Amino acid sequence: MSIISTHDWPIVHYQMPDHVSDADADGVIAQLDAVLARGAKFVLIFSGAELPRDSAHFMKLYAQWSKRTLAEQRKWCLGAVRIEPDERKRNAFWRKALIYVMSSRSPYPYKIVADKDAALAQANHWLAA
């Protein structure tokens, strides 16, 4: 299962699936590790599900990965942009994201936008800064 695309490096596309099976969970974490292993600045563009459902094993590994790689995420990731075309969902995501960002657990800036063009504009802004 491939959820990470680096074909537009240093823009990394992260397509969150609706479900990550136990069999696929380690491979998804390996994809995230591979992005950080490049040792270069990048920006994430998220799309897809908010979080995968019925994916307890993946979510456990993802939480462990997030803690283990926090310093590298802060060093290499310039920011993350979530694409959400639906305005109600976008507003709900923003409320959740604001709580997360304000909690100081967020390793990088986070924005939520309506479409891919806005996401690319924000990504390029962070890359140019």
Distance CA 24, CA 29 (A): 9
Task: Read off the pLDDT band of 59 (50, 70, 90).
Answer: very high
Distance CA 78, CA 6 (A): 15
What mean pLDDT comes out for the span 37-47? Answer: 97
Tokens 């479409």 belong to 115
Domain 4-128 top-level CATH class: alpha beta
Return the beta strands (E) in the chain as ranges: 4-8, 11-16, 42-48, 77-83, 110-113
pLDDT at residue number 25 = 96
Contact 42, 9 (CB under 8 A): yes
pTM of the prediction?
0.90
